[in-house]
């Protein structure tokens, strides 16, 4: 009996650990063509949300990015409504969601990527790095402005020194023309 209880306990522990490990965060961005109105967009987003929920996904954040112009035409369309979802779902259901989105006629294109959630330490490091970069950029801009001011001031001073009167130029020309050593 003790052997049976050991074998029964192990699978239960493994299942719990596997469920925790297999759930990942993803980002889904999809484009709905402009041929649909903004009122028709609502049922389409609900349909995509339902697809996510059917595949045991949990929507963390949903964002409507609005109507944007494409870089190039897609299926003879030049504009589309961009939608962004942050999803938490098991790894094994990703393929099913992907095929479900491919079969949805209302979606022009979609991109489904794994999303890494940043820890508080990573966020503080990123913020510090951003602050350092902005300080360096500001210093660089100040140096460039100072160099530009110096460059503007120098030609003005040097042009004043080089000015020669017309009388001096006439004397120089006469001297050169009077000499016989013109080669």
- CA-to-CA dists, residue 60 to 20, 23, 85, 163, angstroms: 17, 13, 8, 74
Q: Look at residue 11 and tell me if it is in a domain.
A: no
Find out whether 97 and 51 touch, Cβ atoms under 8 Å: yes
Q: Write out the chain's pLDDT in tens, 183 residues.
A: 444 433 334 344 444 444 455 788 999 999 999 999 889 999 999 999 999 999 988 999 999 999 999 999 988 989 999 999 999 998 888 899 999 999 989 999 999 898 887 778 888 888 899 999 999 999 999 988 888 888 877 765 555 556 778 888 888 888 888 877 665
Hey, what are 20's tokens?
């925790």
The answer to whether residues 74 and 128 belong to one domain is no
The answer to whether residues 84 and 144 belong to one domain is no
Quick one: which of 117, 122, 40, 46 has its CA closest to 86? 117
Residues with Cβ within 8 Å of 80's Cβ and at least 6 positions away in sequence, in order, are 31, 32, 33, 34, 67, 68, 70, 74, 108
The answer to whether residues 55 and 67 belong to one domain is yes
Hey, what are 107's tokens?
């979606």
What's the domain range around 87?
18-117
Which pTM does this prediction carry?
Answer: 0.56
């Amino acid at each position: 009996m003790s052997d049976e209880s050991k074998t029964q306990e192990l699978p239960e522990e493994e299942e719990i650990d596997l469920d925790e490990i297999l759930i990942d965060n993803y980002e889904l961005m999809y484009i709905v063509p402009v041929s649909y109105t903004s009122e028709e967009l609502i049922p389409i987003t609900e349909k995509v949300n339902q697809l996510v929920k059917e595949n045991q996904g949990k929507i963390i954040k949903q964002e409507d990015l609005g109507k944007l112009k494409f870089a190039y035409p897609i299926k003879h369309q030049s504009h589309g409504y961009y939608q962004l979802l942050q999803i938490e779902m098991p790894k094994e259901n990703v393929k099913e969601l992907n095929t479900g989105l491919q079969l949805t006629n209302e979606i022009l294109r979609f991109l489904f990527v794994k999303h890494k959630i940043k820890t508080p330490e990573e966020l503080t490091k990123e913020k510090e790095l951003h602050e350092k970069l902005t300080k360096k950029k500001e210093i660089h801009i100040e140096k460039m402005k100072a160099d530009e001011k110096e460059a503007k001031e120098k030609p003005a001073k040097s042009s004043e020194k080089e000015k020669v009167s017309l009388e001096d130029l006439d004397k120089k020309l006469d001297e050169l023309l009077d000499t016989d050593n013109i080669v």
